[in-house]
Structure 1
């Protein structure tokens, strides 16, 4: 039973940021992104969200790297690899590494791969697979790999029919496969002509054979195409939230589930304090049962360039939400105590701490 279990205010407004869960800790880190008053001269900032106390913290780093958005962040061996992204209309070709222990930055690769933004990055068998995105006024469909051990980029020979060139799609890793859904393309792809297309297909990339294949939907209504949504892997299912389709000028707040074994789509209605319609938000798994949605934007001018640029007309967001895929009886009871404003002064201290974390002024639970 999916349930939105908490809404958290008090964060910074962020759009097109990258989130990662720090292994072995309660922290989620947010890297970069922009907001309406974006300052291109400032450095990329890092904020931490404590999933235990539901509080935000800004991290002090001894070094800095250029601010960016539409990048990716991948954790490997106590380091976070921030890959590509863009500033102004210029995409980066660079890999910056954040050491989780020393809180320091190192640039390990620059101008060694195709510059791109709005791409995806998935770690499988110690390789980061970077897929699609866009570079200036051109959409991409290519696959490149980055080895975080040797710090070497490669472009493997790829078979099968690749997804149409696109950016701001989603990609989730399951086993040795990557499932790609949605995104934005163009009638004249790979070139950008402002005649947008929103693919509705699901494609599978087999990392063992480096081969693309089509995933044939067996049941369920295929959802409307979208871009700048989010997706995480939960068991055999791909959980999709939000996004935007310019052709119908609609922002989404729906929860979609694609079962990769049964090849079926379904729409899930989750009770609780749910996010407003949005796109370009950050999202990641907190643990095996929960995901975090943070920030994004939910209104503004239509895109007029191949990649998103900050605009004062957008309503950028700072709120965060926790979705629990399988709430335990204990978690449901804690939520009921808070919702009904019950006295918990006589319960064990460990439960009091958990309840206090849910009754801060910046937290709403239902």
Structure 2
């Protein structure tokens, strides 16, 4: 288990008014040779192209020599070589992981995924991941310096990365946005970079890989539109995308908005009762939107709220125990929410909490293996009876790794297949 990184709440990036602590720049055209998945292309390497990874995760001397050779080669020709990031075989687990004892079949087991292919050339935080069939679509996010606008795809069956080309009206670089799946299309709302915040809607058709911006401003359809924001949440229910909270650069928000997918119009719903917050999570369970944690820039919340999307009534759950969380993930697995990682108001963490949606309480369950190191601003999805975690940030650096938790069928996969949330 990774060492805990002590990070005060006041030092969490984009905290307070959700204003970043570092400037942004346009996504660079070149690839990032500092990525742990970086593999030089044959045209840019003199000598061996192998990159050796030591047990501490750092590149060995042979990579440094290869890097020096590339720089000398580029200088001698007067041209900068194009670097690629493609692996023909999966990267195996770290050496020290060989000594991890085998876990019983009834225990959830963490490990780092042996990924390959056109791996991301940047670390990522504040990105979104959306599962379409067996493909995970990763959009936007930022590393330690820059914000991105490109798409990466990850096949959960083969663990292969690809970097597809998209066309159309591409969105600007964005982080802390939402991407909501409706009929194989991703509806991206809000987000931004640096000090800019967005109220725009962009749609990516995952079949044609074409972006569209259906309206230049939501006001063209509806006179009242939400303020530009990021760090909000969104779920799809009954033909509408429901947006809650976030931050607009000056304050945290607690308003609720709906986007009518058929009309592509935004309208306000006056049902906000939770205090203003961002970096919370929202899951749609039946007709209920379950909101967990978040922060208003001063406090980190442990609350769990439920919004009935039919009656627009909020309910604050009375929990015997709760846990402060922001920038975490919340993934529904049967009749449970798996709440993983994030920041607890004092430090980044890597534990996982199990919230029972039937009795509306947290329950302890064992896990084994090597979990992701403490982090927040990551993303997670459920696919192939596994929980997948992508990227994140630990207070000092961002990640581009992928972790997978195999869910033991007898202990974690749903024993309750039909239920409703009763508040």
- Equivalent position to 1:33, from 135, 141, 153: 141
* Cα offsets for 1:56-95 (capped at 9, x unmatched): 1111112322010000111111211111111112210011
Give the Cα separation in 1 of the matches to 2:113 and 2:248. Answer: 35
8 Å contact kept, 2:251–2:296: no
Alpha-carbon distance in structure 2 between the residues aligned to 1:132 and 1:267:
29
Match of 1:88 in 2: 194
Which string of whole-angstrom CA distances, capped at 9 and with x for unpartnered residues, describes residues 171-195 of structure 1? 1110000111111114xxxxxxxxx
Question: Which stretches in structure 1 are left out of the alignment for 5+ residues?
Answer: 187-195, 300-313, 330-366
Tell me the number of residue pairs that the alignment of Structure 1 and Structure 2 aligns.
293
Once the two structures are superposed, residues 228-258 of structure 1 have per-residue CA deviations (whole angstroms, 9 ceiling, x without a partner) of 0010112221110000134x2x111000011
**Paired residues for 1:1-20 under 5 Å:** 1-8=107-114, 10-11=119-120, 12-20=122-130
Query: 1:275 Cα shift?
Result: 0.6
Partner of residue 117, structure 1: 230
| d(CA) in 2 for partners of 1:111, 1:252 | 39
- Deviation, 1:324, is 2.9
Q: Report the structure, 1 or 2, having the larger strand content.
A: 1
Aligned to 1:201: 303
Q: Tell me, yes or no, if the aligned pair for 1:174 and 1:236 is still in contact at 8 Å.
A: no
How far apart are residue 7 of structure 1 and its match? Answer: 2.6
Runs (4+) of structure 1 moved beyond 3 Å?
8-12, 326-329
Aligned equivalent of 2:163: 58
Alignment of 1:275-286 (within 5 A): 275-286=372-383
Q: Does the Cα contact within 8 Å between 1:3 and 1:325 map onto a contact in 2? A: yes
Structure with higher Rg: it is 2
Where does the alignment leave 5 or more consecutive residues of structure 2 unmatched?
1-106, 219-224, 412-423
Supply the RMSD in Å over aligned alpha carbons.
1.9
Rounded to whole Å, the distance in 1 between the matches of 2:360 and 2:343 is 23
Q: Which moved more, 1:314-323 or 1:201-210?
A: 314-323
Moved more, 104-113 or 61-70: 104-113
Q: Match of 1:350?
A: none
In the alignment, what sits opposite 1:214?
316
Q: TM-score, normalised by structure 1?
A: 0.76
Q: Distance in 1 between matches of 2:369 and 2:306?
A: 33
Q: 1:3·1:327 contact (CA, 8 Å) conserved in 2?
A: no
TM-score (ref. length: structure 2): 0.66
Correspondences of 1:108-257 after superposition (within 5 Å) = 108-112=214-218, 113-114=225-226, 115-158=228-271, 162-186=273-297, 196-217=298-319, 219=320, 221-223=321-323, 225-246=324-345, 248=346, 250-257=347-354
